[in-house]
């Protein structure tokens, strides 16, 4: 439920609305302090209580409008909050119209390797460096990342290139450690519904990129984002990275419709990761261009200097040169939809 007060209404009228809600056991949040005060009730309540509250609040002086919502996600809702979220990271802003490109290897494999690839992608217009130090792998015998050493190497690559860094956190107790180094915390597809992790990220003082689970619906993704925002961290971006379907020619199926849908439903920025969706590097540029045309705020792609030697996800990783070609193509698509990639 969203209650909009008339502009210039008295503070005591707002307080009376809050008191009325509290008398019914409901907590109100101030969604906007002005010019018109907007109050929201985010907890789920049953229909009869909703109608009872509506009846009581309608008569309070200063109340302009009462809106009920049937979505269970509220704080991430564009309609509920009337907001648009833009997240500034370093010199780039995700969600303000510019196209931000995050690029780097699947995993940090060595200090020299991550520094070299950071230089390569920075020179070609990447705005953010990606690289996993804690890797969630399908097999327990695969390379699972360098851990804190990997984070240190990422931080050093940031020092050298100036690129902010995004890296994955896979357990709630490691959130403070990863947040110490990272500019953006990544929550991976396999952890989309790890609610303890979402809540820990909700308490961190870092933006979070939440990836859609491979079997996650759009509604579930939004509810997972709601977990983070409800804990006080409003800097959340959502990442479409392909979902599992019957198709086996691609690793996953990129749900391009998720981009405009998410942009309509939520005020949070939307990122597309064509690399994990495609699973094949030759498909990545076309899918990245489609994502920009569809309105994605940012793109995340895997880049490796020698993809065939990568410890993970080499098949879908672009070489730095192929990344450079893709950036030029993306810049032209961005221009066609009245957007641009800073520095390209
Ligand atoms: C990754 O970004 O390297 C990764 C593991 O992605 P996802 O969680 O989408 O599979
Ligand atoms: Mn990967």
Q: Express each pLDDT in 94-143 by its tens digit.
A: 999 999 999 999 999 999 999 999 999 999 999 999 999 999 999 999 99
- Contact criterion met (CB below 8 Å) for 157 and 165: yes
Residue 3: name the closest of 51, 36, 26, 35 by CA: 36
| Range of weakest confidence among 47-51, 149-153, 272-276 | 47-51
Ligand 1: centre distance to CA 188 (Å): 5
| Ligand 1 atom index nearest CA of 106 | 3
Query: What's the pLDDT band for 294 if we cut at 50, 70, 90?
Result: very high
pLDDT tens, residue by residue, 31-46: 888 788 989 888 888 8
Q: Is the pLDDT of residue 338 over 80?
A: yes
Residue 238: name the closest of 304, 312, 158, 295 by CA: 295
Pocket test for ligand 1, best of 106, 186, 189, 300 (most atoms within 8 A of CB): 189
* d(C-alpha 129, C-alpha 280), whole Å: 21
pLDDT at 137: 92
Q: Is the pLDDT of residue 208 over 90?
A: yes
| Ligand 1 atom index nearest CA of 189 | 8
Strand intervals (E) in 193-276: 208-211, 236-240, 270-272
Query: What's the pLDDT band for 296 if we cut at 50, 70, 90?
Result: very high
- State CA 107 to chain mean position distance: 20
Nearest CA to ligand 1 atom 1: 106
Tokens representing 175 are 């959130």
Q: Is the pLDDT of residue 72 over 90?
A: no
Query: What's the pLDDT band for 70 if we cut at 50, 70, 90?
Result: confident
SS3 114: helix
| Ligand 1 atom index nearest CA of 132 | 3
Specify the residue for token string 């198709």.
Answer: 247
- Specify the DSSP element, H or E, that contains 56: helix 47-58
Ligand 2: centre distance to CA 249 (Å): 18
């Amino acid at each position: 439920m969203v209650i909009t007060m008339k502009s210039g209404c008295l503070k005591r009228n707002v307080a009376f609305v809050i008191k009325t809600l509290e008398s019914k056991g409901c907590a109100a949040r101030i969604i906007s302090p002005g010019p018109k005060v907007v109050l929201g009730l985010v907890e789920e309540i049953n229909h009869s209580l909703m109608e009872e509250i509506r009846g009581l609040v309608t008569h309070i002086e200063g109340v302009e409008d009462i809106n009920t919502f049937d979505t269970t996600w509220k704080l991430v809702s564009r309609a509920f909050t009337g907001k648009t979220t833009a997240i500034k990271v370093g010199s780039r802003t995700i969600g303000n119209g510019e196209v931000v490109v995050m690029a780097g290897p699947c995993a940090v494999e060595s200090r020299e390797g991550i520094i070299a690839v950071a230089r390569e992608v920075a020179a070609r217009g990447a705005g953010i460096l990606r690289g996993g130090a804690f890797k969630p792998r399908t097999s327990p015998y695969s390379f699972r990342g360098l851990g804190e050493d990997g984070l240190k190497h990422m931080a050093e690559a940031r020092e050298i290139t100036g690129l902010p860094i995004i890296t994955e956190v896979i357990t709630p107790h490691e959130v403070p450690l990863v947040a110490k180094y990272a500019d953006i915390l990544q929550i991976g597809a396999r952890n989309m519904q790890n609610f303890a992790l979402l809540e820990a990220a909700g308490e961190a003082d870092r933006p979070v990129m939440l990836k859609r689970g491979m079997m996650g619906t759009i509604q579930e993704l939004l509810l997972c984002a709601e977990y983070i925002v409800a804990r006080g961290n409003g800097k959340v971006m959502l990442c479409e990275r392909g979902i599992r379907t019957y198709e086996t020619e691609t690793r996953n199926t990129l749900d391009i419709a998720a981009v405009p849908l998410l942009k309509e439903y939520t005020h949070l920025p939307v990122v597309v990761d064509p690399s994990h969706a495609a699973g094949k590097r030759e498909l990545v540029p076309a899918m990245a261009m489609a994502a920009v045309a569809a309105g994605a705020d940012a793109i995340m792609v895997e880049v490796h200097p020698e993809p065939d030697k990568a410890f993970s996800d080499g098949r879908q990783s672009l070489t730095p040169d192929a990344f450079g070609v893709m950036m030029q193509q993306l810049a032209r698509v961005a221009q066609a939809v009245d957007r641009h990639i800073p520095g390209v």
